Amino acid sequence: MIGKHVQALLTETEDTFLIPAANVATLLYNHPLEHAMLILTNVGYSKIPVLDSEDHLVGLISLADIMQEISGLTGFDMQRLEVLTVADVMEVKVPKMTEKDDLETLLRRLVNEPFLPYVDQNNVFLGIFTRKAILKSVNHMVHEIESRYWLVEKEEERKAQ
């Protein structure tokens, strides 16, 4: 459980937690794999969200996913880029955040993910939460906590040592 004072400091910058969907590079599931490779190469992200035509989150795709799909024992089969779609190689079991998830859940899930897609109750893509944004908030908290609060070691803790 996150203490109320720590949570207050962490959430002071919560308006920067979410990168809105309009500012996130995405692909449609039916885009050719070649298009996905071009987008991923040019935006410089490790993974990007994949949406359907109604903005529902359907997966994530990475350059590694694409390269694995077109590579073989003797080299790369570049022709596969022309015949496959994003849906053929995307990850479909995607960790994500919903409106009902709390800050503690976000922090726990971001330990293993560079970002988490955020969706509404209908799975419509709203944006992403990034580990970088949360770390900026943690940085803010660790620099502010002792200037705003008296931190006193608990008596039981001192006796145990």
pLDDT per residue, tens digit, the chain (161 aa), is: 888 888 888 888 777 789 999 999 999 999 999 999 999 999 888 899 999 999 999 999 999 999 999 987 788 888 888 899 999 999 999 999 999 999 999 999 999 999 999 999 999 999 999 999 899 888 888 888 888 888 888 876 666 66
> What does the alpha-carbon distance between residue 61 and residue 67 come to, in Å, rounded to a whole number?
11
Q: What is the largest CA-CA distance in the chain?
A: 69
Q: What is the pTM assigned to this prediction?
A: 0.84
Q: Set out the domains of the chain in order of their start, with CATH numbers.
A: 4-160 (3.10.580.10)
Check: CB of residue 49 under 8 Å from CB of residue 125.
Answer: yes
